[in-house]
Amino acid sequence: MARTDVILQRLLKLHPKLIDLSLGRMERLLAALGNPQEHLPPVIHVAGTNGKGSTIAFMRTMAEAAGLSVHVYTSPHLVRFHERIRLGGRSGGRFISEPHLAELLEECEAANAGEPITFFEITTAAALLAFSRRPADLCLLEVGLGGRLDATNVITHPAVTVITPVALDHAEFLGDSLEKVATEKAGILKPGVPVVLAPQEDAAFDVIFARAEALSAPVLAAGRDWQAFEQHGRLVWEDESALLDLPLPSLPGRFQVDNAGTAIAALRAFGDPRIDEAAMATGLRRARWPGRLQFVSSGRLHRIAGIDDELWIDGGHNPHAGRALATALAELDETDDKPLVMIVGMLDTKAAEEWLGCFSGLAAQVIAITIPDQDRALPAEELAAMACRAGLAARTARSLEEAVRMASHFRPDEPLRIVIAGSLYLAGHALALNGEDGS
C-alpha cells in the first residue's frame, strides 16, 4: 500500500462522521498551519449542484492556454486521491506527486494533534497548504458539499464566486427544498465580490440574488447579463460589451454549452487580459473532464463491449443530472440511432427511482449492479425493481465486467450504445477497471 494510502486510511478515523459541516475545526487547523488560505493566488470559488467540475475544467484550460499557472482543487476523485490537487505550472499543471502529498498530509496530521476533524477538512487543508507554497496566477476551488459551512469556505476574499445550476441533492445535509439548498450554496458569496450565476430555476435564483444584494455583490446572471448558445456548430457568447464566436466545447452534451458559458463569464469577471478570445477557443477544444459523458474508445471494458458497440461513462447521480444525461443521449440518438443499454449503480442516499425515470422510453434495457466497496450502495436487485417501477426493462449483474458482457449481447446482430451511469463511485470503478487514472 502506498504511503499516502496508509495516511489517508488513518485520517479517516479522526472523526466519527464522514460529513459534519462546520468551519470551526477547519479554522483551528489552518491557524495551526499558519493560515495558508490567506496566502493563495487569486481564487475563483465554485459552488453548485451540477456542472462544477466541467466549469472548472473549462476555466483551467482557457487560463492555461493564455499562459497562466493555475492551481485546482476538486472532489471527489475518480481513481486516485491525487486527482483532487492539481498544482499549476507555466507549461500546464499536473497532479500532486505521491511524496509531496504524503509530506503535506503528515504535516497537517501533526498540526491537528489528534483533534476531531473530518477527512475532507484535513485533506482540504493539505491542498491549501500546497497552493500557498507555490506561486501561481489563479486558484480554482470547488466546494465539496453545500457552501456556507463547507471546508473551502475559509476563503474570505475570492476574486470571483460562481454558482453552477442548483438542484435537490444531499437533502439530509442541505435541506429538502430548492430554496434551502440555494441558501447553502449562496453561503460562498462575499461582500463586493462578483458572483457569476449559471442558468438557475427561479426559486434558486431569487435566494441567491437576495443574498448577493445584501452583500453588495455584483451579479452576472445567465440569461440576463450574459448568454451562451450554440449556433451553426459554434458557441456564441455575448454580453453588453462583447460578442464571442468560439468553437463548441470538446466535452459532449448540450449542457456543456451552459458550463462553458459560465466559465467564460467567470474568467471575464476575473479580468486578466491575457485570457483573450484565442485562449478561450484553445481552452474549449482542450478541456477534458473524466467520468462525465466520457466516450471510451479503448481499454479492458471497451474490449469486452465489442468493437462495434459504443461505450460511455457518466457519474451524474441526481435527477437534474439524469435529465441532462437523458437529453444528451437523445441528441446522440437523433444523429446515430442505436439501442441504448444502461448499466446502473447508485447509492441509497440518492433519488434513484426519479433518476431512473429520466430514461423511460429511451433505454431499451437497464442492467443493475451493486457498486463495489461502497457501504451505501443500493443492492442490484433493489435497483432493478426501481427501474421496473419507472417503466424500464431491467435485470441484474454480479459485476461491472459481467454487466458489460451482458449488455454487448443484448442485441448481438446490431451495434449498441452502452452507458455506465448513476454514480461517480461507479464511474471511478469503471475507469480503474479500464486502466485509466482519472486524469
What is the model's pTM? 0.92
pLDDT tens-digit readout, 209-222: 999 999 999 999 99
Cα atoms in the Cβ-side hemisphere of radius 13 Å centred on 136:
30
Classify strands 243-247 and 234-239 as parallel, antiparallel or unpaired. antiparallel
Instruction: Give me the residue spans of the domains in the chain.
Output: 3-286, 294-433
| Same topology between domain 3-286 and domain 294-433 | no
pLDDT of 83-115, one tens digit each?
999 999 988 899 999 999 999 999 999 999 989
| Whether CATH 3.40.50.880 fits 3-286 | no
- Which residues touch 217 (CB under 8 Å, ≥6 apart)? 161, 189, 190, 191, 192, 193, 194, 195, 211
pLDDT at position 19 over 80? no
> Could you please report the per-residue DSSP string of 20-69?
---SHHHHHHHHHTT-GGGSPSPEEEEE-SSSHHHHHHHHHHHHHHTT--
Average model confidence (pLDDT) for the chain? 93
Report pLDDT digits (tens) over 329-381.
Answer: 999 988 888 999 999 999 998 889 999 999 999 999 999 999 998 988 999 99
Choosing among 3.20.20.150, 1.10.620.20, 3.90.190.20, 2.160.10.10, the CATH entry for 294-433 is: 3.90.190.20
Given strand 70-73, what is the order of strands in its sheet? Answer: 94-95, 85-87, 70-73, 138-142, 43-47, 160-163, 195-197, 219-221
pLDDT score of 226 more than 60: yes
Distance of alpha carbon 365 from alpha carbon 361, whole angstroms: 10
For residue 415, cis peptide bond before it (omega within 30 degrees of 0): no
Q: What is the pLDDT of residues 379-388, one digit of tens each?
A: 999 999 999 9
CA-closest candidate to residue 342, choices 418, 266, 239, 409: 418
Owner of C-alpha cell 473524466: 290
